[in-house]
A and B are shown apart, each in its own frame.
Chain A
């Protein structure tokens, strides 16, 4: 039982950290675009990278969340039965 609680916490912690990391990267890139506009620098490269990187990171984290939620549901059903 203790083991299950630990696993639950680890799962929630890891998936939260992944979302935190990816959201952080997205915010950083968006900030780069904002800064380049404010400083009248060229925002094209930041824009180009954000168009690719942000969707990739969020797709990765979404698929991971899908796996984690699936495994948690499966374990709960297994424990209940």
Chain B
């Protein structure tokens, strides 16, 4: 919305016909249902079991995992890359859609940004879980040790810590700043402790011209800033692997390959969340088929791009025919990991290609199946990157065997429950769809689109009068 355009302040908005829309979109923030409590109890129970398993592992040691020489990274690291990957699309896509003024973006942004925050929290917990002696996590912090022990910044794992922290802070700020006008609306509609809660969070936003102008400048700056941060985070996660001279890892295309995979899985996760929200909160009027259609076409494009990167990666290994690389190659293609590898190709490439390239199957159920398929496929991809390379090292070890234990699976499920619980809490207190952006979209979109089309289409020629006399 331009700064000069007349705009309704937040008090006015609550009294107009937009109020009905606000009622619908913020209902979950003002009313608590038994289903919400049931969901929280179920996710909380899984989380509690995960915490018990974690405490047991902390007491008895990492021997309760399936790790065994030479495979010392497994499900935890695959999950770390997976969760950080999921975090990508949220803020990144939101920032890109904001900067490109995509007029259909409004119902998609908030859910995507919140996803980034919670997936990053889960991803950030995994290195601590994997640490073994978890109580020594403070070694990575700026702790003024008398023994002069400082974190070694030459290790990509320390780069990870820096990158994930920066991205988490940036994403939370991006999410929070994007919610301020909606928090002001909730403040004006609520009473009691809720009013105080939303008053404190809305920072006195009143919707004046000056506030909106500054708000839009800041949103644009945040969007510009967050894109390179997002790209750098998954590049750094890829360098955890690519900087090591391990067969199958030491690759120059790992950074873009990981970024593409991250955006791919992130879009799939956004689609699943949008379909769930649409069903649970009855948002059929706001999350329309066209939103799913746009995002699913993007998912299809990312699927093709992922296949291209995967093909390039393995073709280069095969053509080089270096013996250690070939051991890993055949381990994936026809060895112990072949079932996982070919399932990954099916889930990430064939299923989306079949379902999303055909308009008849590009329906909500079709998109849901394709998205779940991609999430499973991308999780398998992370596992396939981590384990086969460690199971076939350069050193003369026999081929390793890795079977994840009950502890690892339970901690993985605990991570899933942290995500679900966090998201449920978020949906309980904050609107999952940006009310102010939908309102802004309704008021401004037609004008914006007309202006944009006029700006890039050729100017109309003077009409030919039919007279030849002047020529």
Q: Is the CB of A71 within 8 A of B173?
A: no
What class of interface size applies to chain A in its complex with B? Answer: 35 or more
Main secondary structure of the interface of B (DSSP, over half): helix
State whether A74 and B218 are in contact (beta carbons under 8 Å apart), knowing that A7-B199, A24-B142, A56-B229 are contacts in the complex.
no
The one of A32, A36, A46, A53 in contact with B166, judged by C-beta atoms closer than 8 angstroms, is: A53
CA distance A6 to B148 in the complex (A): 43
Main secondary structure of the interface of A (DSSP, over half): helix
The one of B159, B203, B208, B229 in contact with A11, judged by C-beta atoms closer than 8 angstroms, is: B203
Q: Is the CB of A10 within 8 A of B210?
A: no
> Which residues in chain B, 102-118, are within 8 Å of chain A measured between CB atoms?
none
Q: Is the CB of B154 within 8 A of A7?
A: no
> Which residues in chain A, 30-81, are within 8 Å of chain B measured between CB atoms?
31-32, 35-36, 39, 42, 44-46, 49, 52-53, 56-57, 59-60, 63-64, 66-68, 70-75, 77-78
**Given the complex, which residues of A lie within 8 Å of B170, measured CB to CB?**
56, 60
Q: Is the CB of B199 within 8 A of A3?
A: yes
**Given the complex, which residues of B lie within 8 Å of A59, measured CB to CB?**
221, 225
The one of B152, B200, B204 in contact with A71, judged by C-beta atoms closer than 8 angstroms, is: B204
**Given the complex, which residues of B lie within 8 Å of A52, measured CB to CB?**
232
Interface size on B, residues (CB 8 A): 36
Question: Which B-chain residue is minimally distant from A27 (CB atoms)?
Answer: B142
**Given the complex, which residues of B lie within 8 Å of A11, measured CB to CB?**
203-204
Q: Is the CB of A46 within 8 A of B222?
A: no
**Given the complex, which residues of A lie within 8 Å of B229, measured CB to CB?**
56
**Given the complex, which residues of B lie within 8 Å of A39, measured CB to CB?**
148
**Given the complex, which residues of B lie within 8 Å of A68, measured CB to CB?**
203
CA distance A36 to B197 in the complex (A): 46
Using CB atoms and an 8 Å cutoff, list the residues of chain A in contact with chain B: 3-4, 6-7, 10-11, 24-25, 28, 31-32, 35-36, 39, 42, 44-46, 49, 52-53, 56-57, 59-60, 63-64, 66-68, 70-75, 77-78
